[in-house]
Structure 1
Amino acid sequence: MTTYRSVHGERWMDGRGLLSGPELRALCDAPKSQLSMRPARWERIRQALLDAGGQAPLVKDIAAATRVAAAGGHRKSVTRVRIGQDAFRKELLRQYGETCAFTGPAPADALEAAHLYSYAETGEHHEHGGLLLRRDIHRLFDLGHVAVNTALGKLDVAPALHSYPDYMKLQGQSPAVQLRPEHKRWLDAHWREHRLDSDGPAALGA
């Protein structure tokens, strides 16, 4: 478990009464996430504050304070390294070549070995439990914004990405590589987690 502590000091801006809890959660990238801290796009929050009656100077002050708070420099940090990750990636490159499993050919430097399950929970590299994914696609897959409906053999793009043409091109497309039965089992679990429990369609084209 990771614990975060927020210290605002003089940069605190009082926005009480402008947006409710449900409204704020709806602005997050993953509204239904169980995490206490969730990523969100500042542009959407800024517009929502203005639409709710917030004053432009207040909104500008928040942005200015954020820029001041994002100081540069370096600090030492202890991180956990995934043992065997390099070998896992090399094996995927040997099997599939320089190919993103969802989008097609891509430079090796842009491809990551994506686990189709939570490696953080298991700490194991399961055989046929991963695919090569372009770095941005890997992140979106982890968030559930891109998923695979194995019953139809098609990619599904979540509503959060519908305003981005490059990602919407993936909607309804077949994966760029042949999926093994083991892949499909993991992808089915990913689908159940991110689609059947969401406000989106339970199946592609529904």
Structure 2
Amino acid sequence: MKLYYSPGACSLSPHIVLQEAGLKYEPVLASTKSHKLKDGTDFYTINPLGYVPLLELDDGKRLHEGPAIVQYLADLAPEKKLAPANGTWERYKLQEWLTFIGTEIHKNFGPLFGSASDDVKNGARDKIIGRLQYVESELAGKQYLLGDQFTVADAYLFTVTNWAALTGVDISGFANLGQFRARVGARPAVIEAMKAEGLIK
């Protein structure tokens, strides 16, 4: 398998999951700025959408979109319990979280990385804070989003909340989220994935 990634982007989420699952893979750097690989290959020839993550299987099949990729990876290593079993209520709760993180948090960070006006950026920050207030309440009394078991949704939430400091979103008032981030950040697989992307030494 190959994981096409860009350091610190949302592709960090499947990168963490690959490490957690103990699966063999090849990380392939795909710049989100130049849209080229190290060898000069135009990334658009691999992924017409031009963004990461992209998972390429050994048989050439390709899977787009982080929430789909992380569930696929989790199902390759069910013994790691990175996702509840398909068809269970808990699996739908996982999908609920992945959807919420993707549409309500991840997407609202978009304007903060671009050339949007200050008004648009401030509005995006307000939306993110509002959504994180919900996350804060849901994390009360829990180690992870689904309880005591780390799942792929936790990798995704950790990844997108990493962007807060870069974009002026103040999350220091969220004690439960802060504890969650420290807990996830201390996991060996998370440390390995971040080292691989050059995010920590």
TM-score of the alignment, normalized to the shorter chain, above 0.5? no
Q: TM-score, normalised by structure 2?
A: 0.30
Instruction: Considering Cα pairs closer than 8 Å and 6+ residues apart, tell me whether 1 or 2 has the greater RCO.
Output: 2
**Greater C-alpha Rg:** 1
Q: TM-score, normalised by structure 1?
A: 0.30
Which structure shows the bigger proportion of residues in helix conformation?
2
